[in-house]
Homo-oligomer: A and B are copies of this chain.
Amino acid sequence: MKKRLCVGIVGLGCVGSAVVKILEDNKEIIRDRAGVEIVIKKAIVRDVEKYQGYPFEISNDLESLVEDTEIDIVIELMGGVEVPYELAKKTLVKQKAFVTANKAMLAYHRYELEQIAQNTPIGFEASVCGGIPVIKALKDGLSANHILSLKGILNGTSNYILTQMFNHNRSFKDALKDAQDLGYAEMNPEFDIKGIDAAHKLLILASLAYGIDARLEEILIEGIEKIEQDDIDFAKEFGYNIKLLGVAKKHKDCIELRVHPSMIKNERMLSKVDGVMNAISIVGDKVGETLYYGAGAGGEATASAVISDIIEIAREKSSLMLGFECPQSLPLKPQESIESAYYVRLLVNDEKGVLSQISAILAQNDISLNNVLQKEISQANRAKILLSTHLTNEKTILNALKELENLSSVLDTPKMIRLITE
């Protein structure tokens, strides 16, 4: 069994530098979960001068990476289509594993690579929806199912724009400018807003679900650039949201693939996915609907997916069976020190000064109030006081509740529900 696994990285941009950082930051858990140490041996960049002070070799010689017999896995994070495709072929021919975040390249060349790879692993979790492990869900989690359909919000930029238009009445033009100012959209945002990026991802997902070798040029693709306020008004009036969806659907004798803005009923989970977030709803013939939600882009989220592929490949090589994490030395937090905000329900005599008595007790216990609602009860001169607090802890709230119960104006044991504030 190997003690370490050497990787070579092509590209040290946003995702590449995050891969380097996470492999260092989370070195221990990654080693434990991989069964071997993961070591970066070399990185390939265009301009070597710009990258100084890394604890591994920096080079601009792509060929040297493939030729290096010590390197077990090549990680392609350079972008483009034909150059990374050539790199992938050379890597796989040398029986080195290949990991990529490159959806455009896979949209065109996935089956050629699959053919060349034979039994050499190709990892591409990062190519679809960044940090969401949807490729693994399709390959592993749902493996007992025929996939009946999948529908995904696959592009964060267009989802951000649509959310701004829908929730904040921004025009398409203004929302696009917001996205560019925030760095969510490229200066040339065509791929995002015209649905091309989503279509790349849809093709990859459809290949996993259905084995269909469709081309970008063959499928129905529409962008979000023609959506106007009227459309949003109509959607709101009749209970819809508007999202750019990639849709794949199995029919008896064919597979349907399409990318376009869609009106989705408010009851559906997908309609609630806002901002730059992505989500994919998958319907299996046995499991029914499952949905996967998370950050679809961003350096660290995408790098998290890249590294999950590296770990999976390493495990296969190290024959590690992964069960429960080893018990760590961390103990269970004592119940009384658990922090939360709280909602409290009190049944009281509806008499002068009762709310002031209650708030005095809370204040003495260093608990600050957030919301209060007083409800009269028609009969019997009673009232309910419903309140929520800011953050405190179990010991403090339980103590305060006991003191409240002892008040003569409080008629019943106070009831409490915890609030989730983060």
Contact A141 B293 (CB under 8 A): no
Contact A332 B254 (CB under 8 A): yes
Given known A-B contacts A140-B136, A263-B417, A119 and B301 have beta carbons under 8 A apart: no
A114-B294 Cα distance, complex, nearest whole Å: 31
A261 to chain B, nearest CB (A): 5
Given known A-B contacts A237-B373, A254-B333, A418-B263, A290 and B292 have beta carbons under 8 A apart: yes
Q: Does A81 contact B (CB under 8 A)?
A: no
| Residues of B with C-beta under 8 A to A140 | 133, 136, 140, 308, 311-312, 322
Contact B294 A287 (CB under 8 A): yes
Q: How many copies of this chain does one complex carry?
A: 2
CB within 8 Å of B: which of A291-320?
291-295, 298, 300-301, 303-305, 307-308, 311-312, 316, 319
| Residues of B with C-beta under 8 A to A151 | 420
Q: Which B residue sits closest to A247, measured CB to CB? A: B420
| Residues of B with C-beta under 8 A to A326 | 211
A375-B260 Cα distance, complex, nearest whole Å: 25
Q: Does A285 contact B (CB under 8 A)?
A: yes
Given known A-B contacts A286-B301, A293-B269, A338-B256, A328 and B231 have beta carbons under 8 A apart: no
Q: Does A284 contact B (CB under 8 A)?
A: yes
Q: Does A218 contact B (CB under 8 A)?
A: yes
Contact B144 A133 (CB under 8 A): no
A264 contact from B245, B298, B321, B420, Cβ within 8 A = B420
Residues on A close to B: CB < 8 A? 18, 22, 25-26, 29-30, 33-34, 110-111, 114, 117, 119-122, 125, 130-133, 136-137, 139-146, 149, 151, 207-214, 218-220, 226-228, 230-231, 233-235, 237-238, 240, 242, 245, 247, 249-251, 253-258, 260-265, 268-270, 272-273, 279, 284-295, 298, 300-301, 303-305, 307-308, 311-312, 316, 319, 321-328, 330-335, 338, 343, 345, 371, 373, 375, 384, 386, 388, 394, 415, 417-420, 422
